[in-house]
Amino acid sequence: MKKLCPLCLIAICLVATQILPAQENALETPRIEQRAPQNVKPDQAAKLISQQTNIIILDVRTPKEFAAGHLAGATNIDFFASSFEKKLSALDKDKTYLVHCAVGGRSAKVREKMKALNFKSIYHLDGGIKAWEEAGKKVEK
């Protein structure tokens, strides 16, 4: 077996350290970047809804509150229901969500739960549906 010169050994080591990590990274599952949840005012929320046709409006109030008036196209998952955590976990984490409640207390907690569950894109309606209505925005009944 031939001996390699010290410079050749160094060159081989340098090349190996550059190639092997790149090959290992190529096999890894791509990571989905998670954006920090953002608080939005009613005007910003309305703009998001009109510009992003795939946004899911998540209303976490009770069914009775929801029936009294809600944002058009909203999905209702009752924060107080025993099935809430299960339903929240079952949602598609790659979608964009606008989450709200009546004034922002429950939905702020939900926003943090969604963040912990690695939801990719979360917007929080600051002030809830009350702020939405006070800004003159329409609700469905």
Determine, yes or no, domain membership for 70.
yes
Does residue 32 sit within a domain? Answer: no
SS3 state of residue 47: helix
- Residue 7 within a domain: no
Give 48-52 contacts, CB < 8 A, sequence gap 24+: 48/98, 48/123, 49/98, 52/96
pLDDT, tens digit (0-9, with 9 covering 90-100), for 62-111: 999 999 999 999 999 999 999 999 999 999 999 999 999 999 999 999 99
The answer to whether residue 79 is domain-embedded is yes
Q: Is 76 within a domain?
A: yes
Task: Report the CATH number at residue 74.
Answer: 3.40.250.10
**Domain range for 121:** 38-134
Q: Which of 77, 58, 66, 65 is nearest to 122 (CA)?
A: 58
d(CA 20, CA 24): 6
**Residue written as token pair 């992003």:** 52
pLDDT higher than 50, residue 22: no
How far apart, in whole angstroms, are the C-alpha atoms of residue 68 and residue 70?
A: 7
31 band by pLDDT with thresholds 50, 70 and 90: very low
Give pLDDT, residue 53: 85
**Inside any domain, residue 2:** no
pLDDT-derived band at 7 (thresholds 50, 70, 90) equals low
Query: Quick check: is 106 in a domain?
Result: yes
The pTM for the full model equals: 0.75
Check pLDDT > 50 for residue 33: yes
In the predicted structure, residue 32 carries a pLDDT above the cut 90: no
For residue 9, being part of any structural domain is answered with no
pLDDT in tens, 38-66: 999 999 999 999 998 899 999 999 999 99
Domain count along the chain: 1
